[in-house]
Structure 1
Amino acid sequence: MKVAVWDTYVTKKDGSIMHFDIIAPQEIKDTAVIYNYGRDYLKVKGQGGQPLTSKECRFCHIETVRPQWQAEINQKGYFIIEMENCK
């Protein structure tokens, strides 16, 4: 399975920048779907309501799905890789 990696930088409520990647099947081309995945993740992290648009989230590249991502993609439709300031 091929997945798309969406590079995402969101300003947190405290002003710091949260960096994460949204991993979704490459067939998902609708950015509204991708942004909703990111918004769901932000809610879980206590950052609901923060802007997440094309300014914060951009397509990066396509790669082969990694085994550790597969189950969550099958369950939720996406996987999040936490990069910086995601705690």
Structure 2
Amino acid sequence: MRVAVWDTYVKKTDGSKMHFDILVQESIKDSEIIYNYGQEYLKGKNVISEILTAKECEFCHIEEASQIIINDIERKGYHIVELKNCD
């Protein structure tokens, strides 16, 4: 499966900046769907953030997905790759 990678940065209440990627099926082009996935992830991390926009979250590239990523996308529609300050 080929997936689209959306590079995302969110400022946390302590001033630090979270960096994570949202991976979705390549065919998903609607940015509002991607932003909603990002908000769902943030809610699960108890991070309060304003609505995600193109300023915080933008398409980066397409790549081949591993089986773990495919399983996640099939189960909930997206996969998150935590890169910085996501704890």
Q: TM-score normalised to the size of structure 2?
A: 0.95
The equivalent residue for 1:14 is 14
- 1:7 maps to amino acid: D
Identity of aligned residues (%): 55
**Structure 2 gap segments, 5+ residues each:** none
Matches of 1:50 and 1:80 in 2, distance apart? 19
- How do 1:1-80 residues align onto structure 2 when only pairs under 5 Å count? 1-80=1-80
Matches of 1:7 and 1:82, distance apart in 2: 10
| Runs ≥4 residues deviating over 4 A | none
Instruction: State the alpha-carbon separation in 1 of the partners of residues 49 and 74 from structure 2.
Output: 26
The separation in 2 between residues aligned to 1:27 and 1:16, in whole angstroms, is: 32
CA RMSD of aligned residues (A): 0.9
Equivalent AA in structure 2 for residue 33 of structure 1: I
How many residue pairs end up in the alignment?
Answer: 87
Deviation at 1:21, TM superposition (A): 0.2
Which amino acid is the alignment partner of residue 34 of structure 1?
Answer: I
TM-score computed with the length of structure 1 as normaliser = 0.95
User: What CA deviation, in whole Å up to 9, does each residue of 1:31-75 have, x standing for no partner?
Assistant: 000000000000011113434110000100001111121111100
Kept in 2, the 8 Å contact 1:10–1:51? The answer is: no
Indicate conservation of the 8 Å contact 2:5/2:63, yes or no.
yes
Question: 1: distance between equivalents of 2:15 and 2:60?
Answer: 24
